[in-house]
A = this chain, B = another copy of it.
Amino acid sequence: MRTDRAKAPGQQPPLTQEALVGAALLVLERDGLDALSMRRVAAELGVQAPSLYWHVRNKEQLLDLLADALVADAVPPPREGGWREQLRAYCHLHRRHLLGKRDAARVVAGRFNLGPSLLVILEDQLDRLREAGFPAAEAALTSYLLGNYVAGFVLQEQSPLSAAEAVGQATRTEVVNAARDHLQQLPADRFPNLVALAAELSEPDMEDRFAFGLERILDGLATLLEPAPGTR
């Protein structure tokens, strides 16, 4: 085997943080997060693993940098329409963006690092929110809420449904069917709702689920911004 070295033909590009992140992006996309090791990133650069530690404190820091790189090429929606339309577009784009990159949500979710790319997005979002009339504190809270919602949702969405699927021993629809059957065969006296809603619960139309949650949040933000007539 011995594929460790001589893999990258030209290793003239100097080893920098950006080079590490580029290699990490490549490994992530090609091999997935579980296979993303320091050794493999190093091999991608034609270098030994310990060399990376000169440019990066540890793997966690590399993952922080990777997370920021994953949102670097996100494209904000056009600045037209009301704040609702803009936030909706923002979230749908963000979801699509994460879904387009392998294991992206697993890297991004639960990682609070204010990298340069994220700062640009955050600034843009806050600006739109302020312009829409959101007070400062509420704008910050809203931005956090939306980012959290999208990342958390896609995390679920990108995760294997079960250990069986993760290991490739069952396809996604097999798992879904098994789940529905399982729910339907529960004792109807103890779990009437699960039995009745077996299909809705097990068949994950993620598009619908995402839109549902997002519209609830947008509605909630609307009543915050424009309280219902007669409330004040």
Contact = CB atoms under 8 A, between A and B. Distances in A.
A3 interface: no
Interface residues of A, number: 76
Given A216-B217, A219-B224, A106 B114 contact: no
A116 to B, nearest CB: 10
A109 B155 CA distance: 8
Contact of A136 (B106, B164, B196): B196
A144 interface: yes
A220 interface: yes
Chief secondary structure at chain A's binding surface: helix
A194 interface: yes
Given A110-B106, A137-B200, A194-B123, A163 B212 contact: no
A38 interface: no
Contacts of A98: none
Contact of A114 (B112, B179, B196, B197): B179
Q: Which of A60, A145, A163, A212 has the most CB of B within 10 A?
A: A163
A83 interface: no
A119 B223 CA distance: 33
A203 to B, nearest CB: 10
A11 interface: no
Contact of A141 (B137, B182, B194, B212): B212
Interface stretch (A14-22, A23-31, A185-193): A185-193
